[in-house]
Amino acid sequence: MAWRKFNGEIIHFPILEEVEKAIERESALGYKLKVCVGTDSQVKAEATDFATVIVFLREHHGGFMYIHQEKSTKKMGIRERMLSEVQKSIDIAYALCPLLDLYEVDMEVHADINTNPHFKSNIALHEAMGYILSMGFVFKAKPEAFASSNCANKIVQ
């Protein structure tokens, strides 16, 4: 699974190693951290482009993120695509848990799903919320889900 920084720099070792280095570096500089994980997707012709991000927020001092992209040629309806985004975010969040617990870093999982029923993505809101919460994660949906709806969204556009 290839990860990169926002500036395009490729991460050449496991993402958990990179995340641990980031936590140690930022903590040594005195920053209180929070991690937000989110995924967005965009259908382009016959393929769906997914981008998953790990966003580090430094309390009152901005943030940075790591990005993973993948493509799928599988045909999906809106509900399946939204739940695929959630699954990708949960997979990463679950892998990060032991590390974030060790360093006492809070985490949220962000779903690019609209809470307004007039939007198509709302069809998957209750399933996504139930899935994320049942895994023990803090859940955020639009408009609070900036990791998926802003950060990951910029990657798949």
Residue 157: the pLDDT is 84
Does residue 117 have a cis peptide bond before it, meaning omega lies within 30 degrees of 0?
no
Residue 16: the pLDDT is 97
Q: How far apart are CA 20 and CA 101, in angstroms?
A: 11
Report the amino acid identity of residue 27.
S
* Overall domain count for the chain: 1
Is residue 1 scored above 80 in pLDDT?
Answer: no
pLDDT digits (tens, 9 = 90+) for 107-148: 999 999 999 999 999 999 999 999 999 999 999 999 999 999
DSSP string, 89-133: HHHHHHHHHHHHHHTT-EEEEEEEEESSTTSGGGGGHHHHHHHHH
pLDDT digits (tens, 9 = 90+) for 4-41: 999 999 999 999 999 999 999 999 999 999 999 999 99
Residue 134: the pLDDT is 95
Residue 146: give the domain boundaries.
3-156
Q: Strands, E, within 12-116: which ranges?
A: 33-44, 47-58, 63-72, 106-114
Average confidence score pLDDT of the chain: 95
Share of the chain above pLDDT 70, in %: 99
pTM for the whole structure: 0.95
